[in-house]
Structure 1
Amino acid sequence: MTERYKPNTTVACVIYSQGKFLLVEECIDGAVKFNQPAGHLEANESIINGCAREIVEETGLELTPQALVGIYQFRASANLAFVRYTFCIELTKQQHAKPRDNAITDTHWLSLAEIIALGSQLRSPLVVKSIEDFLQQADKNLLPQHTPLSLFNVDYF
């Protein structure tokens, strides 16, 4: 019998305002990495509440996800895999972010071109992929639009 596949469940949020995206900077194994506010889902926590918690911890901003961008499956290595629920928030103006989590060293509002230029400093390829999906969905002439949060059944949390 093969071992049961148990990917980590993570949540992330594309936060967009005035042509820029809010990324967090962190040091992982001595290397500077950039990511959306993101993290692992905790026990007895809904996916939406987990995303809101990660936003507060990593940016200091008390924001609620507005819609789902996508659900991504990612294999980081032979023994490490993730299912990542990526949400989005569109703000009318950029807000000053101050991380509460000591693992986050800074926050940055960056354009997509600036994010792409970070290359290997991105935590994973999902950083750019989820932003591109967000932008495609935000184009009112294309389908599908952002997926509403009503998709999630949170009646049991």
Structure 2
Amino acid sequence: MAASSRHSVSVAAVIVNDDDQVLVTRRRDNGHWEPPGGVLELAESILDGLRREVREETGLEIQPERLTGVYKNMQLGIVALVFRARVVGGQLRETEETTRAEWWRREAIIGRMDEAYAIRVLDALNDAGPAVRAHDGMSILQGKEPRIN
């Protein structure tokens, strides 16, 4: 199998506090706001990788609650598994991977985050089953998938 035909798997956590705010981080490499997460290492489990990525990017310890969506970047071949989670420990801090972390309400997510990431957060805030969507890195690809207005 050629390397170009392989997928990469990433994980992300939509961390919700008691006020229904979501923790978002600004990436150091590109300045974009996203939920914390990253690429799974080959030998780690999905939930261990999720906890590791959140700890590395925020300093927080989390408890994953449920899978809320599966998203594929069609240009890069990255499949992202997104989980709703809650904080169970640690201290929120700036890290080597993030320049800032903030708690946002739903309205800020729609206006300040790229569509491909905003939809992940909004899907996690809904109680419907896990979403399955495709995107091009910025926008949700049209078809049966709804678009954020």
Give the TM-score band, short-chain normalised.
0.7 to 0.9
2:92 to 92, 97, 105: 97
AA aligned opposite 1:5 = S
User: Aligned residues, how many?
Assistant: 129
Distance 1:64 1:90 in 2: 5
1:153 match: none
Give the structure-2-normalised TM-score.
0.74
Q: Against the structure 1 CA distance between its residues 4 and 25, is the aligned structure 2 distance closer, same or farther, given a 3 Å change threshold? A: closer
2:8 match: 8
Instruction: After TM superposition, give the deviation of residue 35 of structure 1 in Å.
Output: 0.7
Residue 93 of structure 2 corresponds to residue 108 of structure 1: no
Q: Against the structure 1 CA distance between its residues 112 and 4, is the aligned structure 2 distance closer, same or farther, given a 3 Å change threshold? A: same
Larger C-alpha radius of gyration, 1 or 2? 1
Instruction: After TM superposition, give the deviation of residue 34 of structure 1 in Å.
Output: 0.7
CA offsets, 1:80-121, max 9 Å, x none?
2210010111459xx85114x4121110101121122114xx
Write out aligned runs for 1:66-145 (5 A): 66-75=65-74, 77=75, 80-90=76-86, 97-99=92-94, 101-119=95-113, 122=114, 125-137=115-127, 143-144=128-129
Maintained 8 Å contact 2:9/2:40: yes
- Where do 5+ consecutive residues of structure 1 fail to align? 138-142, 147-157
* Identity across the alignment (%): 27
1:40 match: 39
Instruction: After TM superposition, give the deviation of residue 145 of structure 1 in Å.
Output: 7.8
What's the RMSD between the two structures over aligned residues?
A: 2.6
Give the structure-1-normalised TM-score.
0.71
Q: Against the structure 1 CA distance between its residues 98 and 90, is the aligned structure 2 distance closer, same or farther, given a 3 Å change threshold? A: same
- Where do 5+ consecutive residues of structure 2 fail to align? 132-149
Instruction: After TM superposition, give the deviation of residue 64 of structure 1 in Å.
Output: 2.4
CA offsets, 1:31-78, max 9 Å, x none?
421110110001210011100001111110111212111111122x3x
